[in-house]
Amino acid sequence: MKEWINVLKAADTAAKWHMNQRRKGANQEPYVNHLIEVATMVATASEGRDPNLVIAALLHDAIEDQKIPREVIAAEFGEDVASLVMEVTDDKALPKPERKRLQVETAHKKTPRAKVLKLADKISNMNSVALSPPEHWSVERRLEYVAWSRSVVTALGDDVDASLLEEFSRAANRAELAAR
């Protein structure tokens, strides 16, 4: 099994799909940095035993941000990867406050693997808010974002990776300190 080839293919594909996308922070990091950070966290948490979860991490924002059809992901990387990506994809047709509310409300229903991915995504977002928040964000907005992220993570429940949970709470604390 050459799973690592598929993981690299997914990284290559993600770099192309998100080529013109930047993080919203002042540093304007290439978006692929976020995808690789999240993929590295899930690979570490799953001790390299779940290549499909790593692939899903690399592609987790492709539908939401680049409007890549689910079918394209399923055809290239299989149904398992496509359904993991769907589990962490917000419905952009809904207004933002509704999407944020739904993330909290639906968190506990996700599969354990999607929870790992969700948690890693939130850690990466906390790191960004601590190190390079969007320039126009006020202190209140940053604190509000951290508080909302905490409520999503709490809503995931207890059956999540303990070391990722700890990492999230450290990252959230740092983001709050940096805002003040």
- Interface segment toward Zn ion; rule CB under 5 A; list 57-65, 69-77, 95-103, 144-152: 57-65
Q: How far is the CB of 109 from Zn ion (least distance, A)?
A: 19
Tokens coding 63: 């539908």
CA angle 19, 23, 25 (to 5 degrees): 150
**Contact call for residue 50 and Zn ion (CB under 5 A):** no
Closer of 130 and 180 to Zn ion (Cβ): 130
Cβ distance 23 to 31 under 8 Å?
yes
Cβ distance 85 to 62 under 8 Å?
yes
Q: Which residues of 85-117 are buried (b: 16+ CB within 10 A; e: fewer)?
A: bebbebeeeeeeeeebeebeeebeebeebbbbb
- Interface segment toward Zn ion; rule CB under 5 A; list 49-57, 115-123, 139-147, 167-175: 115-123
Q: How far is the CB of 2 from Zn ion (least distance, A)?
A: 27
Rg (CA), the chain: 16
- Interface segment toward Zn ion; rule CB under 5 A; list 22-30, 53-61, 69-77, 148-156: 53-61
Cα–Cα distance for residue pair 127/29, rounded to 1 Å: 12
Closer of 52 and 127 to Zn ion (Cβ): 127
Closer of 121 and 161 to Zn ion (Cβ): 121
**Contact call for residue 61 and Zn ion (CB under 5 A):** yes
DSSP H stretches of helix in the chain: 3-17, 31-45, 51-58, 62-66, 70-77, 79-87, 96-106, 112-131, 139-155, 162-179
Choose which of 121, 161, 167, 176 interacts with Zn ion (CB under 5 A).
121
**Contact call for residue 87 and Zn ion (CB under 5 A):** no
- The residues assigned a catalytic role are 64-65
Cβ distance 107 to 155 under 8 Å?
yes
Closer of 5 and 28 to Zn ion (Cβ): 28
Q: How far is the CB of 62 from Zn ion (least distance, A)?
A: 10
Q: How far is the CB of 159 from Zn ion (least distance, A)?
A: 22
- Binding positions for Zn ion, rule: CB under 5 A: 61, 121
